[in-house]
Amino acid sequence: MLRRTFLMLTTSLAMACSASQANAACSPDYSGVTLTVASQTGPYIASALKLGADEWTKKTCGKVNVVEFPWSELYPKIVTSLTGSDATFDLVSFAPAWLPDFVTYLSEMPKEMQSGKDWDDVEPAYRERLMVWEGKIYSQSMDGDVHTYTYRTDLFSDPKEKDAFKAKYGYDLAPPKTWKQYLDIAEFFQRPDKGLWGTAEAFRRGGQQFWFFFSHAAAYTNNPNYPGAMFFDPETMDAQINNPGWVKGLEEYIRASKLGPPNALNFSFGEVNAAVAGGQVAESIGWGDTGVIAADPKQSKISGKVGSAVLPGSDEIWNAKTKKWDKFPAVLPAPFMAFGGWQIAVPKVGKNQQAAWDFVKTLTSPEVSGQAAITGGTGVNPYRKSHTTNLELWSKIFSPTEAKEYLGAQADSINGKNVALDMRLPGYFSYTEVVEIELGKALAGQTTPQAALDAVAKEWNRLTDEFGRAKQLAAYRAAMGLSPKN
């Protein structure tokens, strides 16, 4: 009897010890907690969330359920959930442009997360601008997005190509400084009989098309002499999308569509990456994923031959105030923060808010996000200083020259003097839908660039009046980092 009691006591003690050890491994202990995250369909972003989820589970014993929706369905799913005040999602991942529509329903980031080494490591373009709405932080960037230029170094360094190019255009073959040079290069390499085309961009409605157009237009409309006037006049909220700068951008975007592979009009960003990695095009513009995928020997035919640079610019930029072209002494690049990178936030109605913010912390930590950034297909591009300075991390996928160019292009773009921020406004989809429709018509040749953009401007002004001009102006100024108008 005594032996049996002793045995039971020992067993109980051992069990208690092992339980306390297990709990000690969970720090903080969220065992029993399952977080549900809304994401776009993977692999882009969803796989990064899963990567973060695995790490968080190891650390806290909590679980994360990533619910995926197609890109076109994500916004309505999140809006329906938030406006219905149901606690379906503990976290939502979304585009910064949607923040103004969601902000009423989101909880503020805990103050302790808004300081420290990890916080300072986030690039100021995100930390001080894209993550901020009316002076408060409601979301955390989990991806950095800026459009950059990608090209094939084997073609650009070929002496025969260089000589032929110089003979034809009168200047050296190199990453373009202006959009005119970009189109010259695309035209030069347009060789359908050899399976090589000039460039690849997204032109399909619903296929991230309008961000590529915005990248062209940013060079002619993001004027440092009148900041924040790229999309709307920050004094009057009058649409600027039909001014001569935008028209020039659209003309060049349409020209680029004719210098791509057959049926480039059906390209979304996915097809752009496939064309670049397949060695079908000499150059391209797009998000950082292009460089990472093109460098991956498993996915790419041009691995080891990938060059990167900042987007082309212009030495003439339209001034929305004076209604004249401003001439600059040198070409001024206007890297466009297209989309602005995925963000993650915690809805107010969430039942596990503390755990949810803890997951955000793990997901966006320098270690976990750094790993995601170098993993092709996660869709995560650099958004922390440590992402662009840690050459050792990138040497896993790039050659030293490739890594230097890629990280240089990313860092110079994000920190560029004339970086162009994407539009962030309440009713974002209403504004961009008409852009997509009119771009489709202009690309198909059904309307002229000026007529297409006039139609967009008319609808933008109508929407602004419908939503309330003063309210929209205040939101636009906040999004562009301008002080409130008195």
Partner 1 sequence: MMRNDPIKHVFIWPAVLVVLAISIFPLIYSFTTSFLSYRLIPPIPPRVVWLGNYATLLQEPRFWNAILTTTLIAFIAVGLQYVIGFGVALALNARVPGERLFRVALLLPMLLAPVAVALVARMIFNPTMGPLNQFLSMFGLANLPFLTNGHWALACIIAVEIWQWTPFIILMMLAGLQTLPEDVYEAAELENASAWQQFWGITFPMMLPISAAVVFIRLIESYKIMDTVFVMTGGGPGVDTETLTLFAYQEGFKKFNLGYTSALSFLFLIAITIIGVTYLALLRPHLEKRR
Q: Decide whether 11 or 104 has the Cβ nearer to partner 1.
A: 104
Give me the sign of the Cα torsion angle 348, 33, 41, 414: positive
Omega before 43 cis (within 30°)?
Answer: yes
Give me the sign of the Cα torsion angle 302, 305, 311, 313: negative
CB of residue 261 vs partner 1: minimum separation in angstroms?
A: 7
CB of residue 163 vs partner 1: minimum separation in angstroms?
A: 32
Q: Decide whether 88 or 399 has the Cβ nearer to partner 1.
A: 88
- Residues 6 or more apart from 244 whose CB is under 8 A from it? 220, 318, 325
Question: What are residue 94's DSSP bridge partners?
Answer: 343
DSSP, residue by residue, 214-278: HHHHHHHH--TTSTT-SSB-TTT--B-TTSHHHHHHHHHHHHHHTTSSTTGGG--HHHHHHHHHT
Q: What b/e readout covers 101-116, taking b as 16+ CB neighbours within 10 angstroms?
A: bbbebbeebeeebeee
Provide the strand spans (E) within 356-457: 420-421
Q: Decide whether 28 or 468 has the Cβ nearer to partner 1.
A: 468
* Number of Cβ atoms within 10 Å of the Cβ of 139: 27
Q: Decide whether 288 or 347 has the Cβ nearer to partner 1.
A: 347
**Residue 45: strand, helix, or coil:** coil
CB of residue 413 vs partner 1: minimum separation in angstroms?
A: 30
Per-residue DSSP letter, 384: B
* Number of Cβ atoms within 10 Å of the Cβ of 73: 12
Q: Decide whether 291 or 426 has the Cβ nearer to partner 1.
A: 426
CB of residue 430 vs partner 1: minimum separation in angstroms?
A: 5
**Closest to 272 (Cα-Cα) out of 343, 338, 316, 346:** 338
Q: Decide whether 335 or 440 has the Cβ nearer to partner 1.
A: 440
Q: Decide whether 55 or 459 has the Cβ nearer to partner 1.
A: 459
CB of residue 424 vs partner 1: minimum separation in angstroms?
A: 12
CA distances from 133 to 137, 270, 309, 416, 421 (A): 6, 31, 31, 22, 14
CB of residue 24 vs partner 1: minimum separation in angstroms?
A: 46
CB of residue 149 vs partner 1: minimum separation in angstroms?
A: 23
d(CA 426, CA 479): 10
Q: Decide whether 28 or 76 has the Cβ nearer to partner 1.
A: 76
CB of residue 12 vs partner 1: minimum separation in angstroms?
A: 56
Residues that bind partner 1 (CB under 8 A): 72, 75-76, 79-80, 83, 100-101, 104, 204-206, 261-263, 265-266, 271, 426-427, 429-430, 433, 437-438, 440-441, 443-444, 446, 466-468, 471
DSSP H helices, 70-222, are: 71-83, 99-102, 117-121, 124, 153-156, 159-169, 179-188, 209-221
Q: Decide whether 297 or 468 has the Cβ nearer to partner 1.
A: 468
**Closest to 339 (Cα-Cα) out of 36, 107, 71:** 71
CB of residue 133 vs partner 1: minimum separation in angstroms?
A: 13
